[in-house]
Amino acid sequence: MRILRDVSEAEVVAQFLRYEFYHEEFHRDREQFEAMVLNPDLNNAEEIAMRRTLLLRRRRNVWLELPADTQWIEAQIEPEDLPRMRVFTRGHFARMTGNNHHLLDFVERVRTHEISPFAYQHLAKVQSLRYRLRDSSEVSTVFLVGLDEHSPTTILEGNNRLMAVLLDSFELWQSRFRFFVGLSPRMGGYVFYECNRANLVPYAFRALKRKILGTSGSLSFRQTGQDVFLQNRAHTVPNGDNTYQAGLPK
């Protein structure tokens, strides 16, 4: 992995939100926020606060659990980094990958038809995405997390897209993606990086507490950035491409 530049939290949130904005959670006020999501102004404090709140509507636990000292970079991922890259094992990916979460091992099992029948429905989505991306020249963003630039990484967002391209052509992945990487020496305690019992049990309690104390995801554009900040002060984030095409399955 070679570090290219530091990336601000505002840019990370703006890019990540683009990959979430097609979901039903945003249907009721899509027109109201569409412009700031698809054409983000990274110097506008009000927009930055709004996008953060919108992202929390769908990915609250993913973002609030990140270590507070997470630093984001854009990195060039080299071929030797791929064997140490793991998929984000939530839901259907847990059924698809079993106990082996390494990206290249998963891709190989798909190629050799060693995937559980329980995963066929989701695998069909990956294959569909594979055909759609084959004719696309769009460069999209994949989000990784890790301890440092030398450690294994876990895909936080972009599992489906990266797998789809690797299934189609191992040579194309570097030209089709850019990589934002969140790094922290405390990432080992982040359940979405290391999903083990030691991390999962305390995470479950915190997630339940947030659900009980959670606030409404509905916003008015007339709210100021300061209003949004105060509304979500108890849920501060420690810290996605041009059109709805970016909202392809992850």
Question: Domain boundary residue among 156, 171, 189?
Answer: 189
For residue range 129-175, what is the model confidence (pLDDT) as tens digits?
787 777 777 889 999 999 999 999 999 999 888 888 888 877 788 88
What is the domain extent for residue 23? 2-70+196-247
pLDDT the model gives residue 16? 96
Contact 123, 96 (CB under 8 A): yes
**DSSP notation for the chain:** -EEEEEE-HHHHHHHHHHTTTTSGGGGGGHHHHHHHHHS--TT-HHHHHHHHHHHHHHHHHHHHTS-TT-EEEEEEPPGGGGGGEE---STHHHHHHTT--BHHHHHHHHHTT-S-GGGHHHHHHHHHHHHHHHT----EEEEEEESSTTS-EEEEE-HHHHHHHHHH-TTTHHHHEEEEEEE-TTGGG-TTTS-SHHHHHHHHHHHHHHHHHPPP----TTS-HHHHHHHTGGG-------SGGGGS--
**Amino acid letter for position 53:** T
Q: What's residue 78's pLDDT?
A: 92
Q: What is the pLDDT of residue 173?
A: 84
The pLDDT of residue 129: 77
Q: Are residues 58 and 96 in the same domain?
A: no
pLDDT digits (tens, 9 = 90+) for 53-109: 999 999 999 999 999 999 999 999 999 999 999 987 655 555 554 556 788 888 888
- The residue ranking higher by pLDDT, 131 or 228, is 131
> Same domain, yes or no, for 63 and 159?
no
User: Tell me: the pLDDT tens digits for 188-227?
Assistant: 999 999 988 899 999 999 999 988 886 434 443 334 343 3
* Residue 47 burial class via C-beta count within 10 angstroms: exposed 0-12, middle 13-18, buried 19 and up: buried
Residue 120 has a pLDDT of: 67
143 and 243 together in one domain: no
Considering the domain architecture, whether residues 61 and 82 belong to the same structural domain is answered as no
Q: Per-residue pLDDT tens for 22-40?
A: 999 999 989 999 999 999 9
The pLDDT value recorded for residue 223 is 40
Residues in the chain, how many?
250
Could you tell me how far CA 213 lies from the centroid of its own chain? 24
Same structural domain, 164 and 180 = yes
- In this predicted model, what pLDDT tens digit does every residue of 37-64 receive, in sequence order? 999 999 999 999 999 999 999 999 999 9
CA distance 107 to 114: 10
Closest CA to 240 of 69, 10, 14: 14
Provide the pLDDT for residue 213.
81
**pLDDT of the residue at 182:** 98
Task: Let me know whether 78 and 177 are in one domain.
Answer: yes
Shared domain for 238 and 184, answered yes or no, is no
Higher-pLDDT residue of 239, 243: 239
Predicted model pTM: 0.80
- 158-197: buried (b, 16+ CB within 10 Å) or exposed (e) per residue? bbbbbbbbbbbeeeebeebbbbbbbbbeebeebbbbbbee
Residues paired with 145 in a beta bridge:
154, 182
Q: Give the chain's domain count.
A: 2
